[in-house]
Structure 1
Amino acid sequence: MSGVTESAKALPCDCPDGLISIEQACSRAAAYATVIREREEVLLGQALGRILAEPVVSVLPLPPFDQSAMDGYALRAGDGLPSGTSLAVAGRMAAGDEELPLPQGSALRILTGARIPRGADTVVMQENVTRASGRIILTRMARSGDNIRRRGEDVEVGEALLQPGEPIDARHVALLAAQGYERTWVRRRIRIGVLSTGSELRAHGERLGESSFFDSNRPMILALARESGADVLDGGIVRDDPQLIAGALSELARCCDLIVTTGGVSVGDEDHSMVALVGARGGGETLKIALKPGKPAVVGGIGSATYLGLPGNPVAALVSWLHLGSAVLAALDGRRARPLSGMRLPLMHAFNRRPGRTEFAPARIVQIDGSSAVEILGRGGSARLKPLVAADGLVRIEPLHAPVAEGDQVTFHPFRDGFSV
């Protein structure tokens, strides 16, 4: 089991009451992760979202030959051909055609992507000529080198293109495909086990009692884990018994790289996450984070598996996952965590809050006099799901920004890019 690094402990924080910053918490959680080294070769069509396992070096120049950058006429300009020059059109070349020689004193009709014919040194845009009776007349001066994509100007042979640890997206797929790669080496998928703790929780299909309710956290975290590209294992619901929770953690640790639980991370009588972690022969620490919602969390490890204990309220679990989960997944992949993307927008109303913690709240974008602003939804509270569903994203309010006045700028993190971490 990895321990907390000194750099993680040394991160500065001006947080009150012994709380640690979000950045400190993410660093401490990531310190328990062991980078996954196992790899597998997959077809390029199956590589989307996977983590590259080896460097990619170019084997082909791009473009592979000098080619026309637009539709026009290939000719030899030499030191320059003045406007009014007349040339016979000796043929036509389209993309994929075999190369034609350029007859002296002539031009060839050429289309975008076609190979530059032997003897030509420029392409004149079709808009810059007039054509009649099989000839063209230049309407502006032609200069050597215009409108030609040179062989290897994008990528040269032997150039380092991609590095291990990069998540493969559509851009990387395009580059690999252009290089002729049919397969690529990727790290195996992260295996995440998810379970909920709480004697009040019921799984779907079970009968609800007077004091029970359906578990929403586990399905949410399972969905978030799948969205991250991981293989997931549903650990079910375990009632509030430290021995039972420890047994469930031990089982998941045998096959998972990351174990995520929700509930039981605070200091109440039925908060057993830390005790269960130790009972499963693991170790870790309870974090008190300057974060709202999501102040408490437990991080640690059992053998080679990383453990992440999130709060039990759904919005708190979501916000904690977006930060701590992203940090751990990145560490398992051997890459840096991608920060949440956001934009600065004015708040359309005042928002009263106490200073001290970074606060996240569901919000939607509204249009006011043609400009965008954000509106915080609901009356607050980390157990409310309806505002989360109605929201376009989350607003982030910095620790010392209190109270927030109407028109104050806040950071808005949209959901449109998904919850992937």
Structure 2
Amino acid sequence: MTIAITPQALGALREPRKDLLSVPEACACAARYAARLRETETVPIFGSMGRTLAAAVAARVAMPPFTQSAMDGYALAAGDGLPPGSRIDVIDRIAAGSVGKRVLEGKASRLFTGAPLPDGADAVVMQEHVEREGNVIILGRPIRAGDNVRYRGEDIEPLEPLLGAGERLDARHVALLAAQGIDRIDVRIRARIAVISTGDELRQPGTGLEAAAIYDSNRPMLLALIAQAGLIAIDGGWVPDDAGRLSARMRELAECADLVITSGGASVGEEDHALTALQRAGGQGEALRIALKPGKPAVVGSIGAAAYLGLPGNPVSSLVSWLILGHAMVSTLEGRPPRRRLGCPITSRSRFDRRPGRAEFVPARLLEDGGVEILGRGGSARLRPLVQADGLAEIAAENAGVLPGDTVLFHPFRDGFVV
């Protein structure tokens, strides 16, 4: 269970941990600094994709709302069963949305998928399984009561719980809500997430690049990830390696954001200012050392009512840390229990040598034979392997390496960017 606590309850700023935290331990630690957003709003279901349900929803109507045909065919009274060769008179034609005449023994009604079963009928024979001669059908196989019938309420009964508070809505949920006649739904407000990039070496895309400088890729990437997740992205700009200037920007953004993120300076070197800036901004938190590769260092905390997450500066580390720690914090903000990303077990076609001790996420590409190719040792600063990959392969902390034929967990990019 995730427990939301106030910044005041966290005590003084904590020193960096000496031991490595497991990924679940780090996620639980990060989640404790985020408090659930209380405000809600009502939106049309067509605009509810990616939103978090604010209250539980119960069924209004049965599904199906009436007993109906599951096939195009003929409704009839099968009783104890009808053998092949039975000849039955067709007395009616029922389309979806129409109500037909009562069916007596030895009679049938032509009907179509979704049409209500007429009174007296207890089965539907598929149109492919009969021969028709004028107004008479001849059964080509046995038919029994219940064949090809969808009964009222067999999927959902009225008042049955449908969705729980904290459910993140997607197209499946929209279909279910629409089928219940629900056109508007209460959701939690979108989390507002501000991103600051730090580092004297950073230059912004579109400007010149002098010696020893690099372009800032993390902030654009993180803002894009936040937008892709359906959250409100706030561009906090760039700040040099100066704890005073960084703390001022963090304090300013904490007034308008629910989560403030900095990229860079999350380690414990002389030029890593995230933890110091957090303290100067009036915040509380701690530096984490996580059994994770890439993404070992991180800072988590809070500034006033806003949660804070300090990510490493290397782009792949920043990406992986956002997908793991950011997921835990955003889930808590939106009232969802932070669930560990499970990944899909898949067979590796590659050899990958490594030291055990940290869970590792590496770029990987799907192969036509159903396996996955690990794209070398991507490195925490290399972006090209990410673009060539279809997702990330997760290698367990205790695993000393991967051989062809071993199983890894695969996290596809096509849906893995949604927190």
**1:28 corresponding residue in structure 2:** 29
Deviations 1:126-156 (A, max 9, x none): 2332221311222333322322211111111
For residue 203 of structure 1, what is the aligned residue in structure 2?
204
- The amino acid across from 2:6 in the alignment is S
CA, structure 1 residues 4+162, in 2 after alignment: closer, same or farther (shift >3 Å)? farther
Q: Does the aligned pair in 1 maintain the 2:37–2:189 contact within 8 Å?
A: yes
Distance 1:364 1:349 in 2: 11
Q: Quick check: 1:2 aligned with 2:6? A: yes
Aligned partner of residue 333 in structure 2, secondary structure: helix
Q: Distance in 2 between matches of 1:173 and 1:373?
A: 33
* In structure 2, distance between residues paired with 1:169 and 1:157: 22
Query: Which deviates more from structure 2 when the two are superposed, residues 63-72 or residues 98-107?
Result: 98-107
Q: Determine the structure 2 residue equivalent to 1:102.
A: 103
- 1:374 corresponds to which residue? 373
| Alignment check: 8 A CA contact 1:5 1:31 kept | no
Residue 237 in structure 1 maps to residue 241 in structure 2: no
CA contact (8 A) 2:347 2:408 kept: yes
Are 1:385 and 2:383 matched, yes or no?
A: yes
How far off is 1:237 after superposition? 0.2
Aligned partner of 2:392 in structure 1 is 394
> What are the residue-to-residue correspondences of 1:87-236 with 2, within 5 Å?
87-102=88-103, 105-236=106-237
Q: Give the partner amino acid of 1:279.
A: R
Higher mean displacement: 142-151 or 344-353 = 344-353
SS in 1 for 2:352: coil
Which digits, 9 at most, give the CA deviation of each residue in 1:68-94, with x for residues without a partner?
Answer: 111111122233333333221112111
1:311-361: CA deviations, max 9, x gaps?
Answer: 001011011111101111111111123433433444444433222222222
Please state how far the C-alpha of 1:283 moved relative to its aligned partner: 0.4
Q: After superposition, give the CA deviation of every residue in 1:370-389 in whole Å (9 maximum; x if it has no partner).
A: 46242333x54211111221
What's the TM-score, normalizing by structure 2? 0.92
Check 1:87–1:20 CA distance in 2 against 1; reply closer, same or farther (3 A cut): same
Q: Taking structure 1 as the reference length, what is the TM-score of the superposition?
A: 0.91
**Structure 2 vs 1, CA of residues 408 and 108 (structure 1 numbering), >3 Å: closer, same or farther?**
closer
Give the Cα–Cα distance (whole angstroms) in 2 for the partners of residues 220 and 371 of structure 1: 29
Distance 2:347 2:71 in 1: 45
For 1:343 and 1:376, the matched residues in 2 are separated by 18
Q: 1:226 and 1:80, CA in 2 relative to 1: closer, same or farther beyond 3 A? A: same
Matched to 2:45, the amino acid is L
The change in CA–CA distance for 1:84 and 1:35 in structure 2 (over 3 A counts) is: same
SS in 2 for 1:19: coil
Given that 2:24 and 2:340 are in contact with CA atoms closer than 8 Å, whether structure 1 keeps it comes out as: no
C-alpha separation between the residues in 2 aligned to 1:237 and 1:51?
31
Task: Give the Å deviation of 1:292.
Answer: 1.3
**Higher mean C-alpha displacement, 188-197 vs 54-63:** 54-63
The 2-side partners of 1:130 and 1:404 are apart by 60
RMSD: 2.2
Distance 1:384 1:60, change over 3 A: same
Query: Does structure 2 retain, via aligned residues, the 8 Å contact 1:196–1:238?
Result: yes
Deviations 1:29-80 (A, max 9, x none): 0011100121000011101111111111111111111111111111222333
- Partner of 1:416, secondary structure, is helix
Pick which of 187-196 and 400-409 moved more: 400-409
Partner of 1:420: 418
The residue type equivalent to 2:380 in the other structure is S
Q: Please give the per-residue CA displacement for 1:176-201, whole angstroms capped at 9, x wherever unaligned.
A: 00111111111110100001111211
Query: What is the identity, as a one-letter code, of the residue corresponding to 1:376?
Result: L
Partners in 2 of 1:224 and 1:348 — Cα distance?
A: 29
Unaligned runs of 5+ in 2: 11-16
> Do the aligned partners of residues 20 and 71 (structure 1) sit closer, same or farther apart at CA in structure 2, a change above 3 Å counting?
same
Contact (CA 8 Å) 1:4, 1:31: kept in 2 or not?
no
Provide the aligned length of Structure 1 versus Structure 2: 409
Identity of aligned residues (%): 54
- In structure 2, the CA distance between the partners of 1:382 and 1:96, relative to structure 1 (3 Å rule), is same
What does the per-residue CA deviation read over 1:95-122, in whole Å, with 9 as the maximum and x for residues that have no partner? 1123323356421111111111122222
In structure 2, relative to structure 1, the CA distance for the partners of 1:400 and 1:157 (3 Å cut) is closer
Partners in 2 of 1:402 and 1:205 — Cα distance? Answer: 43
User: What residue number does 1:9 align with?
Assistant: none
Mapped to 2, the partners of 1:351 and 1:139 lie a distance apart of: 59
Which SS does the other structure have where 2:397 is aligned? coil
Preserved contact between residue 131 and residue 139 of structure 2 (Cα < 8 Å): yes
Letter in 2 for 1:127: E
SS in 2 for 1:417: helix
| Structure 1: tracts of 5 or more residues without a match | 7-15
Distance 2:78 2:351 in 1: 67
- Tell me what 2:61 maps to: 60
Choose 334-343 or 269-278, whichever is displaced more.
Answer: 334-343
Comparing 407-416 and 86-95, the one that deviates more? 407-416
Q: 2:409, 2:107 → 1: CA distance?
A: 61
Amino acid at match of 2:69: S
Aligned to 2:14: none
The AA in structure 1 aligned to 2:385 is P
- Is the Cα contact below 8 Å between 2:7 and 2:284 reproduced in 1? no
Distance 1:348 1:67 in 2: 49
